[in-house]
Amino acid sequence: MCGRYVSTSTPEDLVQLFDVNRWDPSETLEPDWNVAPTKPVWAVLERPVRHQGPEAVRQLRALRWGLVPSWAKDPSIGSRQINARAETVHEKPAYRKAFASRRCLLPADGFYEWQTLPAPPGGKARKQPYFIAPEGEGQLMAMAGLYEFWRDSTRADDDPLAWWTTCTIITTDATDAAGRIHPRMPLTIAPDAIDEWLDPEHKDPGRLRSLLTPPGAGHLLVRPVSTAVNSATSNGPQLIEEVEAPTP
């Protein structure tokens, strides 16, 4: 799975990088070296803008990480819907409608995974966090995601909190370096496939699934990092600094 990641790009950089046509400058997020479920995250998506006609517009928006299906009675389900498996995303009730027409990109510098280390004699097993990112300085991952709308029926129509917009990350079996740490990893969309992936009119599930690719085309750097990242309240660039590799 992908349960934590790093996102430090400014919205101005993301607007330029992904050819975004619409972004509200009043909507800002701080650089985050420990993005955790239920946090707001940047997403690039395409959908019509109210009062501007039916044509889809590429937008940069802050969404809540943890997809809440439109039919959910309780939004707490979102904390368990942070990842969608690529193998079944097109058919699972929680994701199939979003996969058909509400696909997005979730920009990331890299992601964290934890490796369970054998317990020493008389001791307890522990988990070592690793930071995983594409090879090459400054390469950004365009993680493949889905988004959904959920209406809070307890709030009035004019309440700005009446609607939630939430998202999830599509994952697959991990390979290469990432596979030595954890069995799952996020999938990404290559630059030349972004237009096709974001197009809400594109409905061919087979073709869409073929656009999903491993981050960094499978060329990943993996380094052990401080267990400080275990706490969702920890933040800062020190979290991705390499530490001495643990001895099994």
Contact 68, 148 (CB under 8 A): yes
Write down the pLDDT at residue 123.
77
**31 vs 247, higher pLDDT:** 31
Q: What value does the mean pLDDT take over residues 131-151?
A: 93
Name 84's bridge partners.
Answer: 170
In a domain, 53, yes or no: yes
> Average pLDDT, stretch 171-176?
83
pLDDT at 176: 63
| Residues recognised as catalytic | 2, 113
Average the pLDDT over 13-37 and give the result: 97
Asked whether residue 197 is domain-assigned, the answer is: yes
Q: How is residue 8 written in tokens?
A: 């430090």
Q: How many domains are contained in the chain?
A: 1
| Higher local confidence (pLDDT), 137 or 223 | 223
Q: Would you state the pLDDT for residue 241? A: 97
Q: Give the integer Cα–Cα distance in Å for 22 and 213.
A: 27
Q: What tokens does 173 get? A: 């079996």
Q: Is 245 inside a domain boundary? A: no
Question: Which band of pLDDT confidence, cut at 50, 70 and 90, is reported for residue 178?
Answer: low
Tokens of 240: 């991705």
Residues 187-194, mean pLDDT to the nearest whole number: 96
How much is the mean pLDDT over the chain? 93
Asked if residue 109 belongs to a domain, the reply is yes
Residue 148's alpha-carbon distances to 161, 210, 240, in angstroms, are: 15, 22, 31
More confident residue, 117 or 10: 10
Q: Which amino acid is at 18?
A: F
Using CA atoms, how far apart are residues 157 and 161, in angstroms rounded to an integer?
9
Q: Is residue 124 part of a domain?
A: yes
The two structure tokens encoding residue 36: 């955790």
Residue found by looking up tokens 């395409």 in the block: 46
Section 111-120 average pLDDT:
88
**pLDDT tens-digit series, residues 51-60:** 788 899 999 9
Confidence (pLDDT) at 218: 80
Residue 117 in 3-state DSSP?
Answer: strand
| Assigned domain for 215 exists | yes
State residue 65's pLDDT score: 98
For residue 72, being part of any structural domain is answered with yes
Band of the pLDDT at 73, cuts 50, 70, 90? very high
**pLDDT surpasses 70 at 162:** yes
Cβ–Cβ under 8 Å, residues 125 and 119: yes
Range 226-235 average pLDDT: 96
- Judged against a pLDDT cut of 80, whether residue 113 lies above it is answered with yes
In a domain, 246, yes or no: no
Neighbours of 173 (CB within 10 A): 13
DSSP, collapsed to helix, strand or coil, labels residue 140 as coil
d(CA 234, CA 236): 7
Highest-pLDDT range among 100-104, 155-159, 183-187: 100-104
Q: Is the pLDDT of residue 111 over 70?
A: yes
Question: Which two three-digit tokens encode residue 228?
Answer: 């400080």
* Containing structural domain, residue 149: 4-240
CATH of the domain at 105: 3.90.1680.10
